[in-house]
Structure 1
Amino acid sequence: MKRIFLTYCMMTLIFLGKAQDIQFSQFYAAPIYLNPAFAGSSEMTRFGVNYRNQWPGLDHSLNAYSAYFDHYFFNLNSGLGLIINGMNETMAGLRTSEVGIAYSYRVQLGFNSFLRFGGQASFFSRDANLSQFVFGSQIDQTSGAIGDFSGELLGKDSRHRYMDYHFGMLYNNEHGWIGISAHHVTQPNISFVDDQISKWPMKLSAHGGLKFDLSNGMVNNFMNNTQNQKELVLAFNYKHQDPFNQLDVGAQINIQPLVFGVWYRGLPTVGNGMPNSESLIGLLGISLGNGLDIGYSYDFTLSNLGQANTGGAHEVSMRLSFLAGDQKQAGRKGSILPCFKY
């Protein structure tokens, strides 16, 4: 039954064009993937990698990765980034790869308020092993057994290449941030069938949050074992990618060198006959010094798929940040984003 269900999902995604981007639970640990305006937003030099294993309890899972590099040029008020993304849907043998260049420009609106504009150009590659598909004609209606011959006239492999573009804006002051982004603005054709058009739907996102300093007041009495940073950060990330809508809301507590986080993903509604994915996500992060941060999160499935069936999702992120180049203007408190670490 799991195999039949997954087959139906993969066929729908590939041939009907109801594709959806992979969703990282640690979305701020993949900043350029979230919004190209985040390129250079740390005002440092960063290397980062993310890996996600979704639904490991099923026979075939979804695996995704993202790796990025970015640097901020103070003399140009600009950030430049390189991002490489990949996703592997093992049931269908579908592999999607992306290589992109992101650029952002920072405008100072006030002493501690800034607006960033970002854009990204990406080259995509989608490869499918069509011999892995299971069609209805192969399934025995009585026993559920799957036969070898489908009768469908499809090749064994298919490959598709195309360019794609993303844009975003991001505002921040020392207390919070808010941003918007649009991915796949040209909605390229992703169909593997020559005489059909299946557009990759545009993904729209709105995200933001607030930071609260916990180093003073009553809360400090319970955390007085360290003089390091102590703060509470609340954040949200709303996404629309036709026909799906989803909302992530949550909080992270930073007590250096540790970060504890929890948030909820999903909307308790049904759209187009399909329930939105819903998860409760927990995170533990640690800063190891010298700019190295490592985070681990686990998605506990709340949707009808069930935790016992899917096995949730595991996600790991690593990030290395350091100062490079001209450091005279580095470290201004107001210009550095006060957002989630993961």
Structure 2
Amino acid sequence: MKILTTLALLLFATLSFAQQDPIYSQYLFNPLLVNPAYAGLNNRFNGSVGYRTQWMGLEGQPQTINASLHSSLVQNKVGAGLLVVNDRIGNLNTTEINAAFAYKLQLENKMVSFGMQAGVQNFNNTMNGVNPFDPSDDLFLNGERGTRINLGAGLALKSENYFIGLSVPRLLPTTFKSGDQEFDLYNQHLYLMGGYVHYLNERIRLKPTVLLRSVKGAPASVDIAMNINLNAIHTAGIFTRNLNTYGVLLQTLLKDQYRFGYVFEIPTNKSVGTQFATHEIMLGIQLTTFGFHERSLSNF
């Protein structure tokens, strides 16, 4: 079973090339990962780094590293940020750098944000370890590499008790040619996410959230989570992705500035079984750098 799964992963990454966006279970920790409209939306300076290793122990497993900085600027009227993501699966290594800008509009007790992002995406497929049918094929001798421009857009609406976000991080098709053939590197993804805060009492809050991912040529993916927050500091939650992956989430906030998050996932689908777990770690900081930045933390 392990051999078959490894071969499937390798074939997927080295021959078909068509990729889906990296998966993040802690999208609430750093929504900028999937929606540029969240740049500076919480009216603070934000920095975060994250690492995700999926199906740990499986050869060629997906691994993702991300780092971001974003802040509210100009009296909290706009936001700007920078996002760097490195994604590896099999022999394919992709690095993406995006700059995000958001315009924020205050509507009574709600805020609407319109975001755009632009950047570059570099991919490199080394073909290491691949045993070709034709050893003289340039594809296997030299691999494939290239750089593409990326544009993305997003919309976000949030209040103290709920949020809604809609985004397409990649508006442009990402393709490359090898000989006479053209391959899709990344397909256009549509993200729709939302959440709500229910106060059980002054200390305990419930936060149900949902994330829908849709991409052409693949079934829609749905994440459903239920989190419980204690004293606006500690968070624990459970979630499922498509009812075939289940996980637990732990987060904590120190001194209203420093954040730590951890996720443990177990797949139950037949493709990889239950022996290959997934781990995701994120570290973050939130600062009131400017005088117009908000001192109090928002729910989202």
TM-score, length-scaled by structure 1: 0.80
Report 1:1-342 matches (<5 A): 2-75=2-75, 77-89=77-89, 91=90, 93-109=91-107, 111-135=108-132, 137=133, 152-153=137-138, 154-191=140-177, 193-199=178-184, 200-216=186-202, 229-244=203-218, 245-256=220-231, 257-266=233-242, 278-309=244-275, 311-327=276-292, 330-331=294-295, 336=298, 338-339=299-300
C-alpha separation between the residues in 1 aligned to 2:75 and 2:258? 26
CA deviation string 1:160-198 (max 9, x = no partner): 10111110000112220111001221112145x143222
8 Å CA contact 1:46, 1:71 repeated in 2: yes
Q: Counterparts of 1:4 and 1:134 in 2: how far apart (Å)?
A: 16
How far is the alpha carbon of 1:318 from its aligned partner? 0.6
Q: Distance in 2 between matches of 1:62 and 1:127?
A: 15
Q: Give me the whole-angstrom Cα distance separating, in 1, the residues matched to 2:17 and 2:143.
A: 18
CA distance in 2, matches of 1:260, 1:9: 32
Q: Secondary structure at the match of 1:130?
A: coil
**Structure-2 separation of matches of 1:20 and 1:127:** 16
Kindly state the Cα deviation for residue 258 of structure 1 after the two structures are TM-superposed.
1.5
Q: Is the 8 A contact 2:34 2:169 kept in 1?
A: no
Amino acid at match of 2:216: D
Q: Is the 8 A contact 1:30 1:50 kept in 2?
A: no
Q: How far apart in 2 are the matches of 1:201 and 1:75?
A: 37
Q: Say whether the 8 Å CA contact 2:206–2:229 is kept in structure 1.
A: yes
For 1:171 and 1:76, how far apart are their aligned partners in 2?
A: 15
- Separation of aligned partners in 2, 1:290 and 1:173: 20
1:294-320 Cα offsets, whole Å, 9 max, x none, are 0111011111134444x2100101110
Q: Normalising to structure 2: TM-score of the pair?
A: 0.91
- Say how many residue pairs are matched: 296
Q: Which whole-Å CA distance do the structure 2 matches of 1:11 and 1:122 have between them? A: 28
Runs (5+) with no aligned partner, structure 1: 138-148, 217-228, 268-277
When residues 288 and 157 of structure 1 are mapped into structure 2, their CA distance, relative to the original with a 3 A threshold, is same
Name the CA shift for 1:332/1:108 in 2 (closer, same or farther; >3 Å): farther
1:231 Cα deviation after fit: 1.0
In the TM superposition, residue 94 of structure 1 has moved relative to its aligned partner by: 1.4
Structure 2 CA distance for partners of 1:162 and 1:85, relative to 1, 3 Å: same
> How far off is 1:264 after superposition?
0.7
* Aligned-pair CA distance for 1:152: 4.5
Q: Tell whether the 8 Å contact from 1:131 to 1:156 is kept in structure 2 after alignment.
A: no
Higher strand fraction: Structure 1 or Structure 2? 2
1: distance between equivalents of 2:294 and 2:27? Answer: 25
Instruction: Say which SS state the counterpart of residue 205 (structure 1) adopts.
Output: strand
The structure with the largest alpha-carbon Rg is 1
Distance 1:246 1:134, change over 3 A: farther
Partner-residue secondary structure (3-state), 1:97: strand
User: Residue 210 of structure 1 aligns to which amino acid in structure 2?
Assistant: Y
Unaligned runs of 5+ in 2: none
Runs of 4+ in 1 over 4 A off after TM superposition: 149-153
Displacement of 1:150 after TM fit?
Answer: 5.4
Secondary structure of 1:10's counterpart equals helix
The equivalent of 1:221 in structure 2 is: none
CA contact under 8 A between 2:43 and 2:76: conserved in structure 1?
no
Matched residue type, 1:131: N
Amino acid corresponding to residue 197 of structure 1 in structure 2: E
Secondary structure of residue in 2 paired with 1:186: coil
Percentage identity across paired residues of the two chains: 21
SS of the residue corresponding to residue 75 of structure 1 reads coil
- SS at 1:133 equivalent: coil
